[in-house]
Structure 1
Amino acid sequence: MSQLGCSTRLLVIIAAIVAILFIVGLIGGAIGQALDIESPGFLHVPVLEIHEFFKGDAIFEVGGFSISNTMIAAWVTVVLVVGIALAATRKMRIIPRRLQGLVEVGLEALLNFVEGVAGKKNGRRFFPVVATIFIFVIFNAYLALFPFFGP
């Protein structure tokens, strides 16, 4: 028995399966196609070009750099989140008012979730990154409900 609670034989089998899947993925995937590696027909996976799949609608250009609706939505999201953060923390009190209380409840719930997943010590360590990504994504998703920013 290993320290992980399962036999070494089982770990070797799992590692072999993962290695085989990794090699098959390399041969049949984008790297195999880029290197012109001949693969059997059942391994061939069509690869989309990322710039075609995630292409935003260019609205205007600035110095040869196109500004898309996705970029504008991200900027608006950042301005909105920073504005709410500034408004909530402008006149902080021991007994919070409406906006400060709402922001505190949301951050406390998110902190409890992160601590529940990563533990008390690591949860507080990872919280700034996780909260930043979560808040940006959730605000951006809600912003997409408006007609101009939607898909």
Structure 2
Amino acid sequence: MARSTQETALLSHALPLSLTAAGSTVAAGSSDAATFQGPSINEFFPDPIFFAGTPIEIDRLVIIRFIAVAVLLVFAFAGTRALKLVPNRGQAMIEYGFDVVRRNAFDNLGEREGRRYLPLLASIFFGVLFMNLSGLIPGLNLQGTSRIAMPALLAVIAYIAFIYAGLRKHAGTFLRNALFPPGVPWYLYIIVTPIEFVSTFVLRPITLTLRLLMNMVVGHLLLVLFFSATWFFFTESHGLFKVFGIGTLAFGIAFSFFEILVALLQAYVFMLLTAVYIQLALADEH
């Protein structure tokens, strides 16, 4: 009886120790197993490279913006330094892009005002386009417009152009008519004026900023997700799971072409909305 009691006591102490050791072994084995790490918002905030901790801190994204602007200037110079009656490929591409901007400027603003604001609209279109396309360039892989500073800066420029156009054309009536639309009964201004102020002077730059920013953020995260999943399935997974890598690779390639379309579309929309806002400021009712 004493012997049985002693064995029972030993087992009661040994069983928890065994379970603890087994749990540790399983945990160690699971930590060695491959795990997939998806993209995060930290993709858009790389470590600083120059001037860390200062107001002019430069990281990889800022360098990408510099590169996009430099490539745009080189492309424009190379395509226009020797203009020909029969354009070469580079000149034809620049002329086509510029013609798209010119036609929209003239259609919305008229020929006279269109010529005045054409340099601004062309700069916005090509600047946004080249920064959007940087996310598809190997080695860069990040859009210059995928962090809020650049879209916000462009939206502020468009907003200033809108205010300037209105004050220049209708110096004495622009702000008054924007906040107090003619023809509205005076007692409705209590409701109409706050709505006009928010929609005209607050929401326009915000929507310009967020439309461009969120399209670029979502596009980058999806591309990173597809291609990082492809790498994971091909190199880290086992057995039939590798087949999934073919699907994620196909989606990644297809979405890359779709991102080119989105980059073009967002540059066009930003330029077009800037032209529309300027046209609204120039309208005779102001």
What interval of TM-score do these two structures reach, taking the shorter chain for normalisation? 0.5 to 0.7
Counterpart position of 1:134: 125
2:82 to 57, 70, 91: 91
| 2:47 corresponds to which of 58, 80, 102 | 58
Gaps of 5+ in 2: 1-43, 143-219, 221-286
Take 1:107 and 1:57, find their aligned partners in 2: how far apart are those partners?
Answer: 34
1:70 aligned partner:
61
Deviation at 1:58, TM superposition (A): 3.3
Q: Which runs of 4+ in 1 moved over 4 A?
A: none
RMSD: 2.0
Deviation at 1:140, TM superposition (A): 0.5
Deviation at 1:121, TM superposition (A): 1.3
Any gaps of 5 or more consecutive residues in structure 1?
1-54
CA distance in 2, matches of 1:105, 1:146: 22
Please give the per-residue CA displacement for 1:4-55, whole angstroms capped at 9, x wherever unaligned: xxxxxxxxxxxxxxxxxxxxxxxxxxxxxxxxxxxxxxxxxxxxxxxxxxx7
CA gap of 1:118–1:129, structure 2 versus 1, over 3 A, is: same
- Bigger Rg, which one: 2
Find the counterpart in structure 2 of residue 45 from structure 1: none
**Is 2:111 the counterpart of 1:120?**
yes
TM-score normalized with structure 2 length: 0.31
Provide the identity percentage: 25
Cα shift at 1:129 = 0.8
Q: Partners of 2:70 and 2:123 in 1: how far apart?
A: 14
Q: What TM-score comes out, normalization by structure 1 length?
A: 0.56
Higher helix share: 2
Which amino acid is 2:99 matched to?
A: E
Shift of 1:135: 0.8
- Alpha-carbon deviation of 1:85? 0.8
Q: C-alpha distance in 2, partners of 1:78/1:144?
A: 14
Higher relative contact order (Cα pairs below 8 Å, separated by 6+ residues) = 2
Gap change, CA 1:68 and 1:149, over 3 Å in 2: farther
Give yes or no for contact 2:49–2:60 (8 Å, CA) kept in 1.
no
Aligned 8 A contact 1:60 1:68 in 2: yes
Give the secondary structure class of the aligned counterpart of 1:88. helix
Q: CA deviation at 1:62?
A: 3.4
1:110 aligns with 2:107: no
Give yes or no for contact 1:70–1:149 (8 Å, CA) kept in 2: no
